[in-house]
Amino acid sequence: MNEDIRQAMEDDDVMVTLELDDGSSLPCEILTIFELDNQNYIVLEPQEEVYDSETDEYEIYVYRYFEDKDGYRLENIDSDEEYERVADRLDELMDEDVFDEM
């Protein structure tokens, strides 16, 4: 993980801005970055909480996370199977209180 991001996560104030398809921007806090099956994933929470009344939960966003010497990039998770594996691992991390340690 990029050392700047790692240090900022330890300082509890890591923000990124998502550029949405409609041209708008959505500032988000990085909740965590974790590895699963040799792939990194990033978990983002919108700065302005987005409430989903159908699920009675606040939305978070999960993307594939790639990092190289030029910076980082995010990719959508395309398959339902991959998303389910990632969601299961995220549930495990939440049960382990990983987010409270950040």
Look at residue 83 in the predicted model and tell me its pLDDT.
Answer: 96
Domains in the chain, number? 1
Nearest by Cα to 83 from 58, 60, 66? 60
For the chain, 102 residues long, the average pLDDT of each consecutive 10-residue run is 49 77 90 93 86 74 92 93 96 75 48
Q: What is the Cα gyration radius of the chain?
A: 14
Integer angstrom CA distances of residue 83 from 13, 24, 78: 26, 25, 8
Segments in the chain forming alpha helices (H): 3-10, 80-95
Q: What pLDDT shows up at residue 11?
A: 52
Domain extent for 71: 3-101
